[in-house]
Amino acid sequence: MDYLRLFFGVIFVTNFVLAQFLGLCPFLGVSRKQSSAMGMGVAVIFVMTLASVVCHLLLRHVLTPLGLEGFLQVSVFILVIAALVQFVEMVIKKSSPGLYMALGIYLPLITTNCAVLGVAALNSANGFADPKQFGAIDGLLRATVQGAGGGVGFMLGMYLMSSIREDMEGAPYPPSLKGFPIAFVITASMALAFLGFSGML
């Protein structure tokens, strides 16, 4: 039950985009079409999950025993995320050139997506790598569940946003709101809607 609570909590209650406002750059940039939003969402799920696992293992078995977790933690997390994004970029370029072109510059930007770095830092802040608080398997599972759930929450937010933006393309609204202004209004409305989940978990 703890794992399910953690998984659904990070999707709905502490959603990285709509509750913590992390990763807004790709969220707003790639959410114009449902196909590109889904492709980016799947890439982010993959990177967030693997980054959570690898960063957890490095933190627990390398950085903490050497006493380097304080000042090297973020640097190591960024290096891990950059390597994973390069791998994802190569796979997408080889398997789906159309999606690769649609994602454009936003695919390499996953490296600097603060939602991906945020989930690794949140796993560390929650103490999942601390052997005094969590066992080796329990801590790893919690970090993995939080990473996967964070990615699913990111994809859900992007898919909902892209659906709304596609429906609003022909809608009459003031020209001053076209582009990013209306995207911010939609994001704020979605964040208020997701706030309703906070009492569930």
pLDDT in tens, the chain (201 residues): 888 988 998 899 888 888 888 888 778 777 778 877 888 888 888 888 988 998 888 888 887 777 777 777 888 888 888 888 888 888 888 888 887 777 777 777 777 677 888 888 888 888 888 878 888 888 899 999 999 999 999 999 889 888 888 887 777 878 887 777 888 888 888 888 888 888 776
Measure Cα distances from 61 to 5, 52, 107, 121 in Å.
27, 14, 30, 16
Between CA 136 and CA 132 the distance in angstroms is 10
| One-letter amino acid for residue 143 of the chain | A
- SS3 assignment, position 81: helix
**H or E stretch including 2?**
helix 2-8
3-state secondary structure (DSSP) of residue 115: helix
Nearest residue to 143 (alpha-carbon basis) of 80, 68, 70: 80
Please give the Cα distance from 181 to 102 (Å, whole number). 22
How far, in Å, CA of 134 to CA of 63, rounded? 17
pTM: 0.84
Reduce the DSSP state of residue 109 to 3 states and report it: helix
